[in-house]
Structure 1
Amino acid sequence: MQRSETVMAWNVFRFCTSLRGLGSVMILIVLGIVGVTYYAVVVTNYGPAVLNAGGLESLCALAALLLFHLLLVMLLWSYFSVVLTDPGSVPPNWKPTVDEERGEEAPLNGLEFGNQSLSFQQSVNLADSGSPRIRYCRKCNQLKPPRCHHCSVCGRCILKMDHHCVWVVNCVGALNYKFFLLFLFYTFLETTLVTLLLLRNFITFFSDAEIPGTPGTLATTFLTFVLNLAFALSVLGFLIMHISLVAGNTTTIEAYEKKTTPKWKYDLGRKKNFEQVFGTDKRYWFIPAYSEEDLRKTPALQGLDYPTKADFSAQEF
């Protein structure tokens, strides 16, 4: 019985790691959808309207194209920021700096940890001793910082892991979570805009009126409308879910842990929770980047240290 369970776990892990091969395919699919949308909106419909319609209609078409391109740039910037940014790995030979098991604020000394790290059995015992932050990953054979989880697809521990997303071909974690949220945000705005811009064409498609264009361009417009409408509705659901997670300072994985915890210790209030993801500099809130000051003053953005309610209560005294 034990052997079959081991084989099953190994097969599941093998399946997870095989998902890495979807990387280039998923990026090509995303770029393909962007390309089809660009062709339908710019080349087929609104580009010719700017050149040929004249008057107010040309100005409206030009304004629509400017907004379309602005959102597209922000969407692609956010998307590739998620794809190319490491979500956060545990530093080599990482050790907790505080002995929270005994409630002491002095660093753990070398006698407790040895030269580089604890032995496997000692680490397991420490991880199972009831300490809220000191945990051990048996797959990576290393200690795990708070809010860190192992990703079976990436094959390593990810700082403040939210989930592994096949669309961005990467884990979503501490260092790229903001970029992922901006990707959702700009995707929703862009797909909603495209849906509104092509709505008239879609309605005309089912009327008896004569529709200009070749069968190919009409089919592309129809497909683009359906795809963008579907993405707008689905992304809206994900966006609402992640907004609620940010407001409560949780991740998708931690949402299940929070259900069993009466008081979530990382919930510091909506403002501070928001700042732990987006920073305090308002100029950077809507772009996939952080100011140097935020990176220096907000440890949570580095993915290793997260303040708790107890920390803020202690500061008040």
Structure 2
Amino acid sequence: MGFRIHFVVDPHGWCCLAVIVCVWLFNVAIIPKIIILPHYEEGHIPGALVILFYGLAIFCLVALVRASITDPGRLPENPKIPHGEREFWELCNKCNLMRPKRSHHCSRCGHCVRRMDHHCPWINNCVGEDNHWLFLQLCFYTELLTSYALMFAFCHYYYFLPLKKRNLDLFIVRHELAIMRFATLLGITMLVGITGLFYTQLIGIITDTTSIEKMSNCCEEISRPRKPWQQTFSEVFGTRWKILWFIPFRQRQPLRVPYHFANHV
């Protein structure tokens, strides 16, 4: 499956995405300037920790950009229904187009998405079959980056040796305490929110249930066969190689999902 760029024309979504980008820029610019780089220059921390911070920041940004512009699984206007699978397709009552079961019509985007989990304004895109793995990586690396920044903020005041070389003419140095208080509050808020979202996403994958299916109460847990968690994660990430689940630079190759396991929306 080739990579298709997907843009959602939604001013509200653009504003939410801009907020996330600004938060990322704030953390990547301010935390190293105040804490990481000065302590590295004075020999308090090794260079590996600096590389790790920027590595997490790059992985987080790549996952954000790709989750935002990747086609989540939008169905074409005239889909080709494979022979022998017509019974697993249904007619959408909103756009009057055929779609596979477990698809959902997004009212904000105006089209059906395969195995749609939800529409996320923070990435200005639906979370569906083709970009769900990127959304999971975004949650994962945001948690790591935020936790890493909070750890450095704590160590800066309670563990590291005091900095000797400080340029008091810099604005961020003169207002360091206020900036770090704001950064800590922002980090804790992000960490709590992302942790809750990431947890619900993991539970949904383990139980092979989307957020929309949970809200519609359409899943019959007794009659529906349960897949092993390795299989459900492999289907979402498009590979059985677990190390590749953490790489946002690769191209996803979808694994075929047996329809007899499917939930119906």
TM-score range, shorter chain: 0.7 to 0.9
Distance 1:182 1:58 in 2: 27
Match of 1:112 in 2: none
Question: What is the Cα-based RMSD across aligned positions, in Å?
Answer: 2.7
Identity %: 26
Look up the equivalent residue of 1:138 and give its one-letter code.
N
1:288 aligns with 2:240: no
* Partners of 2:10 and 2:124 within 8 A in 1: yes
Give yes or no for the alignment of 1:65 onto 2:50. yes
Q: How many residues in Structure 1 have an aligned counterpart in Structure 2?
A: 243
SS of structure 2 residue aligned to 1:308:
helix
Partner of 2:40: 50
Selected match of 1:226 from 185, 190, 213? 185
Higher fraction of helix: 1
Structure 1: segments with no counterpart, 5+ residues: 1-17, 99-105, 109-130, 205-211, 301-305, 311-317
Q: How far has the Cα of 1:36 moved from its partner?
A: 1.6
CA contact (8 A) 1:95 1:143 kept: no
Q: For 2:80 and 2:135, locate their aligned partners in 1 and report how far apart those are by CA, in whole Å.
A: 29
- 1:75 and 2:75 matched: no
- Compute the TM-score of the two structures, normalised by the length of structure 2: 0.81
Q: Against the structure 1 CA distance between its residues 181 and 58, is the aligned structure 2 distance closer, same or farther, given a 3 Å change threshold?
A: closer
CA shift digits 1:3-41 (9 cap, x unpaired): xxxxxxxxxxxxxxx991123322321121112212321
1:251 aligns with 2:210: yes
Greater Cα radius of gyration, structure 1 or 2: 1
Q: Is 1:308–2:250 an aligned residue pair?
A: no
- Aligned in 2, Cα 1:46/1:255: closer, same or farther, shift over 3 Å? same
Unaligned runs of at least 5 residues, structure 2: 1-7, 160-165
Cα-to-partner distance string for 1:172-206 (whole Å, 9 max, x where unaligned): 000000000000000001101111110245679xx
| Pair 260,251 (structure 1): closer, same or farther in 2 beyond 3 Å | closer
SS at match of 2:98: strand
Cα deviations across residues 70-103 of structure 1 (Å, max 9, x unaligned)? 11011011111100101011133225446xxxxx
Q: Conserved in 2, the CA contact under 8 Å of 1:40 and 1:217?
A: no
What is the match of residue 5 of structure 1?
none
Q: Which AA in structure 2 matches 1:185? A: F
